[in-house]
Structure 1
Amino acid sequence: MEEKAAARPEQVAIASPRRSPSQQRSRERVERMLAAASTLIAEQGSDAMRMGEVAERAGVSIGSLYQFFPDKRAIVWALAERYTAESQACIAAALKGVGDKDDLKRAFSELVDIYHRLFLAEPVMRDIWSGTQADKALRELELADSRANAEFLVAVLKRLRPDADPIELETTAFLVWQMGEAAMRLAISVDRAEGDRLVAAYKRMALRELVGG
């Protein structure tokens, strides 16, 4: 069992393609850069965004920008890391107090609704994740995120279903989260009414697998 745990993909570090700031002033400058990039992506998409535009919008020199972000991909990666960390914190908090199946149904349903609203409200988030198929590293980051989120869910399922096969629980939880990513992308690619129906259908299917209804 210990060997299996050591080999889990979610525990493998994925190297970030950017330099992390160590001083407060540098961190504040990086925050301005990311805020500028986020605004530009919302306005025109990441493909059209240019490094010079980010530097100008952030009020920094192009050299300062390149000091922390060697290319546009590094900026997109940093924003993806941020959304990933925020989503994991939200999921962990929501699932922490789950004590029975009804709690799980309610918490999971609320999390899916929150995630759907985020995709609808945040064009940056949509733009980032729409590019995961084309960027192998971002795809790996997304998979690591799904595995980490699945671990939160597995911890709950093991309490609620102590007699279930733990490998089956891990597989189900990972598949549920990964399918959730796909469901969100599909939901925002169609009109709102159909998207809402797709999200509702995903919740029903996922909950049947997790708690039997």
Structure 2
Amino acid sequence: MADFLDILEETSLRVRPQQKRARERVDRILAATTILLERDGAESANMLSIAREAGMPAATLYHYFENRTAVFVALAERTIRDVDAALTQQLSLVQGNEQDWGNLLQGLYEAYRMAPGYRKILPLLRATPGLKDLLDESNRRSAVVLTEALKHFPMPQTRLARIALMVSEAVQCFLDMALCEENEDEAQSYVQEMQVMVQALSTYYQNI
């Protein structure tokens, strides 16, 4: 968590925690928010209920976060960075065959689906500029790693980098649709279509 707090977006935190005690408070705030989201849903997670769950005065919560949206964005950022770290490792192992892509994309969906609180807040944050910036940054990081993983494709590096970014953006769109779908069977159908499309693109670009 320390690394996450070091790079937490200034748009999320009003005051960047420097001391151990302050960092522990932010940890408690995010942990309390997660508990409320999973137990009672997003509508119940207002600033007063978050402060109460975290065992601190509301004034302390407002010292670090302007409103509950800022808390949600901070929670989303932690999830995105955790998933990105795992994705980077997995992308380095991708060989380009159908099973690799299928497992990778299913694992990516499962990582977000199982992340505490993330699925609860995603519908509320889809139109939030802070979340869009986080996802754009995540897609750029993924595209860089994907470009390296697919460098054996027969095309110039600049074109490969462009395609990698487009694929990263498209996968993020599919993931958002799947994660916002309450019916799990329907969510899995989005994941399956995403797997088919990415595999088709991989096959095409390997053989041009």
Q: TM-score, normalised by structure 1?
A: 0.80
Distance in 2 of aligned mates of 1:26 and 1:74: 17
Residue 146 in structure 1 maps to residue 121 in structure 2: no
Residue 93 in structure 1 maps to residue 89 in structure 2: yes
Distance in 2 of aligned mates of 1:15 and 1:72: 15
Q: Deviations over 1:24-64 (max 9, x none)?
A: 22222211110001111223443442111111111112222
CA 1:110–1:135: 2 relative to 1, 3 Å: same
Q: TM-score, normalised by structure 2?
A: 0.81
Task: Give the aligned CA root-mean-square deviation in angstroms.
Answer: 2.4
Distance in 1 of aligned mates of 2:191 and 2:138: 20
Q: Is the 1:172–1:210 contact (alpha carbons within 8 Å) kept by the matching residues of 2? A: no
Aligned to 2:11: 16
Aligned to 2:118: 125
Distance in 1 of aligned mates of 2:66 and 2:23: 16
Structure 1 stretch displaced more, 181-190 or 16-25:
181-190
Aligned to 1:112: 105
Structure 2: give runs of 5+ residues left out of the alignment.
1-7
CA 1:75–1:209: 2 relative to 1, 3 Å: same
Q: Deviations over 1:47-96 (max 9, x none)?
A: 44211111111111222212211221221111111011101100111122
Question: How many residues of Structure 1 are paired with residues of Structure 2 in the alignment?
Answer: 196
Distance in 2 of aligned mates of 1:89 and 1:74: 23
For 2:91, the aligned partner's letter is: L
4+ long deviations beyond 3 Å: 43-48, 105-108, 118-123
Decide which of 6, 30, 35 is 2:31's aligned counterpart. 35
For 2:86, the aligned partner's letter is: C
What secondary structure is seen at the aligned counterpart in 2 of 1:21? coil
Query: Where do residues 165-184 of structure 1 align in structure 2 (5 Å cutoff)?
Result: 165-184=156-175
CA 1:107–1:21: 2 relative to 1, 3 Å: farther
Aligned to 2:59: 63
Q: Deviations over 1:95-144 (max 9, x none)?
A: 2244x433xx4443223112222344346212333234321222122111
Distance in 2 of aligned mates of 1:34 and 1:87: 17
